[in-house]
Chains A and B, each alone.
Chain A
Amino acid sequence: MGRVRADRIWRKELPALSFVLGAVMVVLSVTADASHSFHKYSVAYETSAGTAYTAVQVVRSDGSFSISSGSSCTTHFTTPVVYQTQWVVMTSDAQNWVEIGTGHQCDGFRYWFWGTGQGGVWYPLGTADNVGTNTHTFTIRREAGKDWVYRVDGVHKMTLVWQITGLFDSVGLESYDGHAVAGSHTYRQLSRQINEGAWELWAGFDNKRVDGPEMCGGWNSASEWRAAENSSC
């Protein structure tokens, strides 16, 4: 009797069970991958003023966001993380850019960062911790035809020498945390320079990208963008 049952298991039940086991493993692996792939934006673009953007400037507060558990409280750029940030982007495929912003990780670990992307590779250039939640003016501006100068409230953070101009400016929220709660906040006095000319407010309502359903965003005016995540805006 026992021998017959063992034979039955090997011939008939084992293949079925193997199929079930395989299906479970596939589901588990897909679920595990999906949990690490969240990357969404709520951003505004300024594209219509020409093809020689040389500055972007924003006045905004550093938000107090709720970030999911798991990110480091001491190591920058670890997921889950949310960025309030701004870029001058040199190519439409976004392989070359300069950037300054604020990173939000666990329990109020909030920091400014600045860096550059070149050929699709990102190079961090600096960070500053303990930045609080006050309002600041964040600026990246090219000077003397080649010097990209990063400033916060007019205070110099870094100079990057790069003889290049931008194709467009962009500003907003970038998230690697699908469960973060970033209340509605505003990016004010959005400004740009063309060929190192005078500061001018964004004017065109040119373009936007709001990756739903988590992200929220919209224009308050042509030079003011509001953004949020898992919160109305």
Chain B
Amino acid sequence: MELCLRVACRGEFIVLSKRSVSFALSLLTVGAASLGILLVTQSAHHSSNLIADTTSVVRSPGSTGEGAVDIVAAPLDVSGRCNDAGLARARSHGRVDGVAGAFATTASEFAVWQETRHGPTGPRSISPWRSRPGGEPIALCYYDGLFEGFPRAPRLDGAPHQPYERIAIVVSSDATTIDAVGPRDRLEVRGP
């Protein structure tokens, strides 16, 4: 079996023998595997980099390891919650490129922040965190990536929406909750 390929720039034919075709298939397999390894590596690289940039947490001079946020003074293990339960929740909504920010807070502090963050003219409602013990430690974790599947109002002109590239997830000791999701340039990384 021979396969002929015409090389456009030089006008000559390359003849691929059966062995060559077999070699090509092997190369494809190796290439696909390499691409997979590359994607996994890039994903891990993005995650570790962004987690290292995490704001509002106290860092020690050294790192505790790859992909981890190093907390010294915070009373809550923000790194654990944002790297484990929070990350898993974010991944259930799409592709996660990395952690964009993490905040340690309490239920009462977070409730007040939720109720006032849009200012006196913005929307506000009674925070569900008011019904929890006020001192309960919680983490607010922001992730960048691409997140889909959320209810969105239809535009009047039928134009497509701006993609949701950031999600904020609240992680308590027993649950994860979506706080907000939106375009990266509209959902600011901030917390109580």
If A79-B149, A161-B125, A163-B121 touch, whether A94 touches B24 (CB-CB below 8 Å) is no
CB interface residues, B 149-192, toward A, < 8 Å: 149-162, 164, 178-183, 186-187
Contact B156 A45 (CB under 8 A): yes
- CB of A219 within 8 Å of the partner chain: no
Contact B182 A121 (CB under 8 A): yes
Shortest distance between the CB of B26 and any CB in chain A (Å)? 10
- Interface segment out of the listed B27-35, B67-75, B102-110, B136-144: B27-35
- CB of A225 within 8 Å of the partner chain: no
B residues in contact with A209, CB < 8 Å: 154, 158
A residues in contact with B31, CB < 8 Å: 21, 24-25
If A45-B156, A77-B150 touch, whether A161 touches B124 (CB-CB below 8 Å) is yes
- B125's partner among A21, A47, A158 (CB-CB below 8 A) is A158
CB interface residues, B 103-134, toward A, < 8 Å: 118, 121-126, 128
- Interface segment out of the listed A35-43, A180-188, A191-199: A35-43
Contact B156 A207 (CB under 8 A): yes
Contact A39 B148 (CB under 8 A): yes
CB interface residues, A 87-108, toward B, < 8 Å: 87, 89, 92-94, 97, 99, 101, 103
CB interface residues, A 29-62, toward B, < 8 Å: 36-37, 39, 41, 43, 45, 47
Closest to B127 in A: A125
Contact A94 B161 (CB under 8 A): yes
Contact B148 A120 (CB under 8 A): no
Shortest distance between the CB of B30 and any CB in chain A (Å)? 9
- A123's partner among B24, B164, B179 (CB-CB below 8 A) is B179
Binding site for A on B (CB under 8 A): 5, 7, 14, 16, 20, 23-24, 27-28, 31-32, 35, 89, 92-94, 118, 121-126, 128, 146, 148-162, 164, 178-183, 186-187
24 A-B pairs (CB sep. < 8 Å): A13-B20, A16-B5, A16-B7, A21-B31, A24-B28, A24-B32, A39-B148, A41-B154, A77-B93, A77-B149, A77-B150, A77-B178, A93-B157, A94-B155, A94-B156, A99-B151, A117-B153, A120-B186, A121-B183, A121-B186, A122-B181, A148-B123, A161-B125, A162-B124
Binding site for B on A (CB under 8 A): 9, 12-13, 16-17, 20-21, 24-25, 36-37, 39, 41, 43, 45, 47, 71-72, 75, 77-81, 83, 85, 87, 89, 92-94, 97, 99, 101, 103, 113, 115-126, 148, 158-164, 167-168, 170, 174, 176, 207, 209
